[in-house]
Amino acid sequence: MKIRPEWLTAAFTGIIAVTGMWALRFAKGQIREARAEAQVQHLVALDNEYRNEPMVTYRRICAQKRLAGTKEPEEEIQLLEFLDGVALLANRGYLTDPDVYDRFSYDILSLYADDQENIEQERKYDPTNYSNLILIVPRLEAIDEARHGTLAKPTKDDLRDYWNEQLAVGVGTPPRHKPTTTK
């Protein structure tokens, strides 16, 4: 039996096609893994930024002012802007919602509840203000509800407890992920 050149060409073309498909599948897995690693790196970087200066000072001063009755201290705007940036990264897929929930939901949901009226007022003048925060809050509330959490609808006492915890924040203080009391 004589091997015809067309058969060899077909066989080698098939081998090349299978190899190419395997390479694409392998590359897709590598890309997925690299993306997951980058998401973790973004989360760690944001966590470090939130636990260090100047954010720690903003958090403490804002807590002092909020507990003293100041309605919207400048430091609260700084905190909301930072958390809006976290939400932006989640909205664009650089962070996952469960990761944002695990690390920042206590702060996002507490600050949003505490300053919701002012946020809505600012959005009347400029709808782009806190637009990323507005998009992520319902998703974090849904995660909280699915996990049977107590963060989604903080009471006035919960907010006072949140601000009291922020008074004790120092550089490198481990983050709190949930309130100390249950509803």
Distance CA 35, CA 38 (A): 5
pLDDT number for residue 183: 42
- The CA–CA distances, whole Å, from 69 to 62, 63, 72, 73, 160 equal 11, 10, 9, 10, 11
**Whole-number Å distance between alpha carbons of 87 and 132:** 5
Predicted TM-score (pTM) of this structure: 0.80
pLDDT value at residue 178: 60
Q: Residue 96 carries which DSSP code?
A: -
- Residue 40: per-residue pLDDT: 86
Alpha-carbon distance of 34 to 180, in angstroms, equals 36
Quickly list H helices, 51-155.
Answer: 55-67, 74-91, 97-125, 131-146
pLDDT value at residue 83: 97
How far is C-alpha 22 from the chain's CA centre?
Answer: 34
Residue 168: C-alpha distances to residues 8, 53, 56, 100, 109 (Å):
75, 14, 10, 23, 19
Mind listing the pLDDT tens digit of every residue in the chain (183 residues)?
Answer: 788 888 888 888 999 998 999 988 988 888 888 888 888 898 999 999 999 999 999 999 999 999 999 988 999 999 999 999 999 999 999 999 999 999 999 999 999 999 999 999 999 999 999 999 999 999 999 999 999 988 888 999 999 999 999 998 888 777 665 654 444
Rounded Cα distance, 173 and 142, in Å:
28
Residue 51: the pLDDT is 92
Residue 7's pLDDT is 85
4: Cα within 13 Å, side-chain hemisphere: 3
- Supply the pLDDT for residue 2: 81
